[in-house]
Structure 1
Amino acid sequence: MDTDIRHTAHPVDSAAVMRLLPVRPRLLALGEPTHGEDALLDVRNELFRQLVEREGYRTVAIESDCMTGLVVDDYVASGAGTLDDVMERGFSHGWGASAANRELVRWMRAYNDGRPASDRVRFAGIDGPLEMTGAASPRQALTALHGYLSARVDADLLPCTAEALDRLLGADDRWTNPAAMMDPAQSVGQSSEARELRLLADDLVALLDTQTPHLIAATSRADRDRARLYGRTALGLLRYHASMADTSTARMARLVAVRDQMMAENLLAVAERGPALVHAHNSHLQREKSAMRMGGMPLEWWSAGALVSARLGEEYAFVATALGTIRHKGVDTPSSDTIEGLLYALPEDRCVIDAPRLAAALGDTRPAPRVSPWFGYAPFDPAHLADSDGIVFVRDVPQS
């Protein structure tokens, strides 16, 4: 069995990853089992560079706010702003402090310098404007969509005025109140104003769609793509806020499902413009139903990857990342009866594993699930082995 496992391992590069796949996917999803470790992001960066230079990929999409990600995309495309400002304003979840993310943005700007627009690399955030403590106001997305349409279609086609939107939205701190995450009664998501805003947002998105032929002639594709992003984000945020106000036992399951639905819609939009590398947590990209415990409650939902895979088929590929140790977080050498333990016995510090071939080599013998001593790391689920296209294994993760 050890010999068979060794035969499934290859050096981490774009060619090795592509050999695992039946076709060149429009979305190549690289998951990670934990956040905030630059060693894993360095692997992502190098793979993206190779995919750009050897395979024609032109977009990297990461688990960060899709609205603030526009700041990064503008910078890498045109040099608008400064790198320091972009790292501060262009990322959510604190990702802008990462040296590896900074290097990614720096490299993309340097790559684009002097290239025609059709050959430039692009950046996209795929997450909604969401944090652990709550969600953003829908103001930015709604007003941007309304502004785009009001400048390009007859005023009598608009479902409302900008002033009416402003009145219904009210103060932004009503929407961002962190107490609403734990107490549904603190959320405005099911107020009469929020319900009316959901109808208006739906009407604005419908207007955007019904005016497509006119808008193609009247505006650039980039502007239309951004307007569609505003519409997706406004509707997603309003659904999310409505779920925050839900008092049923399904509340948390609805919240995580709405978040991944927003990610899936953003990923499908990214796929429309050509092949992209996607990077997010394994649980957001896997094909199987995701599960976790929150507040002692078990939650299950279909991930963004599962939703997108159902739409794209072979044009969606998922390569999970697994790791051996994160000693500075108390994650030590894995037990030999786990997937991570089997891979840790290989001589390579980093390798790509043919996951279906490894599953076949193991036969009916399935390794035990690894148990993490640290809440921030989710070990690879051996039950998902055959349904993953590959595994990138990183033996030891040093402190960033």
Structure 2
Amino acid sequence: MATDVKDTAHAVEAATVMGLLQDRRPRLLALGEPTHGEDALLDLRNELFRQLVEQEGYRTIAIESDCMMGLVVDEYVTSGTGTLDEVMEQGISHGWGTSVANRELVRWMRAHNVRADDQGRPASERLRFAGFDGPLEMTHAESPRQALTALHGYLAARVDADLLPCTADTLDRLIGADDRWTDPAVMWDPTLSTGQSPEAGQLRLLADDLVALLDRQTPHLLATTSRDGWDRARLYGRTATGLLRYHHWMADTSTARMTRLAGTRDQMMAHNLLAIAERGPALVHAQNAHLQRPKSSMRMGGTPLEWWSAGALVSARLGEEYAFVATALGTIRHQGVDTPPPDTLEGLLYALPEDRHVIDAPRLATALPGIPPAPRVSPWFGYAPLDPAHLTDIDGIVFVKDIPQR
């Protein structure tokens, strides 16, 4: 059995990953990670992205970060707007702008977009950056103000005022104070939420009307503004309607509340990924659970939750043009994650001689013995082991033996 498992392992290179896909060149190549905040995994992501750019013509990277904030990073890498320090602070959410690896990714992308003659690459050759998460944290969601007012402003500058469903002042009055929307106590007490108030209900209708107007005016808008500007307005619309839907379910008092919230977040992610796929092949990076094809699951406050991830939703739409490579690892000793038991999937891979491998997951599934590997149990909540039952739904595995402390 050991020889068979060893035969499924290859060097960690973009060419190897693409070779597993059997001549497919997916529009979205998703690389998952089993834990957040480890620069060793982000360094590996950066390395694979550089190779995909140089060898396979990939032009976009999308990470699990606020889609609205990501516009700041994209402006910087494409046109040099702002400074690197500013965009790392203002353009990446969840506190991940402090990551050395994330900083290096953004720096390299900007440098790549500036040719030796300092004239810059043609627009079609420039690298693009995107966040594809909603403006959400585990503990709260942002106010819909930024997305709603940006969408309204875009339309107000380009279409007849009589076609707009409301004025900017009406939106401002209905939104009210932003801290009504962002109070973290709402996550644990839905009665504090403004998401099902009469004002929120009116905002949902107006957001829907604004998105519909954007859609109806597409020929005019594409003729009078840039494609990027129109794409950005669509992002505003997706974000506004998604946030208002998320806030609506934050006010829900039923037992399905947390499942609805998890599903709504991943639905927002999926809509953003489908839009990113429209402009060409992209590398997507996020937690494995957001990118896998089978249902995702977790426990929240002791309650088990199951929902369809962004990857599952996108895979259902794109089919062969979506690929998912999960990352698995052996140890994170500084977090109490020690050598995996030998009867687990990670334990089998840990016995391989090299520090990093790309694993042919479907072939590995056939090489395993009749008794499947035992599920690994993590002693640390921040690390999610790979479910061995998912092997046949994964295109490949990147295995990293040990994560060093930095």
The TM-score by the shorter chain falls in which range? over 0.9
Query: SS state of the match for residue 335, structure 1?
Result: coil
Q: 2:181 aligns with which of 175, 186, 209?
A: 175
Q: Paired residue for 1:42? A: 43
Q: 2:275 aligns with which of 248, 269, 283?
A: 269
Matched, 1:328 2:334: yes
Deviation at 1:349, TM superposition (A): 0.4
Q: 2:132 aligns with which of 110, 126, 131?
A: 126
Query: SS state of the match for residue 328, structure 1?
Result: helix
Query: SS state of the match for residue 67, structure 1?
Result: helix
Mark the runs of 5 or more structure 2 residues left unpaired by the alignment.
115-119
Deviates more, 1:14-23 or 1:187-196: 14-23
User: Following the alignment from structure 2 to structure 1, what is the Cα–Cα distance between the partners of residues 101 and 55?
Assistant: 21
User: Following the alignment from structure 1 to structure 2, what is the Cα–Cα distance between the partners of residues 267 and 132?
Assistant: 20
Q: Paired residue for 2:345? A: 339
Query: SS state of the match for residue 106, structure 1?
Result: helix
Query: SS state of the match for residue 318, structure 1?
Result: strand
Paired residues for 1:187-202 under 5 Å = 187-202=193-208
Q: Paired residue for 2:53? A: 52
Q: 1:208 aligns with which of 214, 235, 240?
A: 214
User: Following the alignment from structure 2 to structure 1, what is the Cα–Cα distance between the partners of residues 405 and 140?
Assistant: 29
Matched, 1:4 2:10: no
Deviation at 1:253, TM superposition (A): 0.4
Q: Paired residue for 2:14? A: 14
Q: Paired residue for 2:84? A: 83
Q: Paired residue for 1:399? A: 405
User: Following the alignment from structure 1 to structure 2, what is the Cα–Cα distance between the partners of residues 105 and 281?
Assistant: 20
Q: 1:379 aligns with which of 382, 385, 388?
A: 385
Matched, 1:304 2:310: yes
Query: SS state of the match for residue 384, structure 2?
Result: coil
CA deviation vs aligned residue, 1:221-250 (integer Å, no higher than 9, x gap): 000000000000000000000010000000
Query: SS state of the match for residue 392, structure 2?
Result: coil
Q: Paired residue for 1:96? A: 97
Deviates more, 1:298-307 or 1:360-369: 360-369
- What is the RMSD of the two structures over their aligned residues, measured on CA atoms? 0.6
Matched, 1:359 2:365: yes
Q: Paired residue for 2:117? A: none
CA deviation vs aligned residue, 1:112-162 (integer Å, no higher than 9, x gap): 012111100000000000012200000000000000000001011100011
User: Following the alignment from structure 2 to structure 1, what is the Cα–Cα distance between the partners of residues 403 and 275?
Assistant: 33
CA deviation vs aligned residue, 1:5-49 (integer Å, no higher than 9, x gap): 111000000110001113110000000000000000001000000
Deviation at 1:363, TM superposition (A): 5.0
User: Following the alignment from structure 1 to structure 2, what is the Cα–Cα distance between the partners of residues 353 and 377?
Assistant: 20
Consecutive aligned runs of 4 or more in structure 1 exceeding 4 Å deviation: none
Q: Which amino acid aligns with 1:386?
A: T
User: Following the alignment from structure 1 to structure 2, what is the Cα–Cα distance between the partners of residues 157 and 262?
Assistant: 27
Query: SS state of the match for residue 68, structure 1?
Result: helix
Q: Paired residue for 1:73? A: 74
Query: SS state of the match for residue 106, structure 2?
Result: helix
Q: Paired residue for 1:166? A: 172
Deviation at 1:274, TM superposition (A): 0.2
User: Following the alignment from structure 1 to structure 2, what is the Cα–Cα distance between the partners of residues 143 and 7?
Assistant: 55
Deviation at 1:286, TM superposition (A): 0.2
Q: Paired residue for 1:135? A: 141
Q: 2:245 aligns with which of 239, 244, 267?
A: 239
CA deviation vs aligned residue, 1:186-209 (integer Å, no higher than 9, x gap): 100000000000000000000000
User: Following the alignment from structure 2 to structure 1, what is the Cα–Cα distance between the partners of residues 112 and 4?
Assistant: 40
Q: Which amino acid aligns with 2:296?
A: S
Q: Which amino acid aligns with 1:112?
A: N
CA deviation vs aligned residue, 1:332-356 (integer Å, no higher than 9, x gap): 0000000100000001101100000
Q: Paired residue for 2:158? A: 152
User: Following the alignment from structure 1 to structure 2, what is the Cα–Cα distance between the partners of residues 190 and 346?
Assistant: 54
User: Following the alignment from structure 1 to structure 2, what is the Cα–Cα distance between the partners of residues 178 and 342?
Assistant: 42
